[in-house]
Amino acid sequence: MLCAAGCTLAFTACGNATESGIEKLIESQGGGDVDLDLDGDGGFSVQTEEGGMSIDEDGNFIITDADGSVVTGNADAETGEFNVESEDGSFSAGATTELPEQWPGDIPEPNGLAITSATVIDSDTEQAITVSGSVEDDGFVESYASALESAGFNEDSTFKSDGTINNAYSNDTWTIGVVYFGDQSENQVIVSVYSNS
């Protein structure tokens, strides 16, 4: 499937003769029977015996495996955002200045963190959210620790070395990691939230 997608992306601007040539190339590499359709607007679709994949000019994609399971999503080249949805759950990542809407209400917001990116994994069995960005100084770690402890979280571990702080907190529902990287130009923090299954 990856070979098919790579070949197709390289030749999306070509015509029917090229489609036929790419199909034969993929089939010769063990891809089985392949049906390729190159959209003149920049999209394409590939169907094989193992499933299929299609993507349009806006970065919206659909992937189907041999069992009929479907994954849909979007990759935005301009913003760097990437979103995936399947029957098992969802994944999203990208640049943002906002706390994800999935942030649990029983976890204090990381006030003082200037968020620059976030990732969210959400399924029936787990939830994981990571936000990263910059802070004024390492006082953020102590301030956020106080907020977490006031909300009923326990400090499980703490580690400090050469401008780096790595702390972990938990309650019955969540585990939270707070990592601080001190730098002369910019102090970075990553806050990770994981559901306890």
Rounded mean pLDDT, 91-107:
93
Rounded mean pLDDT, 140-169:
96
Mind listing the pLDDT tens digit for each residue in 163-193? 899 999 999 999 999 999 997 678 999 999 9
Q: Which of 30, 47, 29 is nearest to 38 (CA)?
A: 47
Q: Is the pLDDT of residue 66 over 70?
A: yes
Alpha helices in the chain (DSSP H): 2-10, 16-26, 139-150
Instruction: Specify the DSSP class assigned to residue 98.
Output: S
Q: Phi, psi at residue 40, to the nearest 5°? A: -65, -15
Question: Tell me, what's the pLDDT at 51?
Answer: 79
Please name every residue paired with 54 in a beta bridge, in sequence order, or none if there are none. Answer: 45, 62
Structure tokens at 74: 């979007």
Alpha helices in 35-171 (DSSP H): 139-150
Mind listing the pLDDT tens digit for each residue in 104-142? 999 999 999 999 999 999 988 889 999 999 999 999 999
Question: Tell me, what's the pLDDT at 5?
Answer: 42
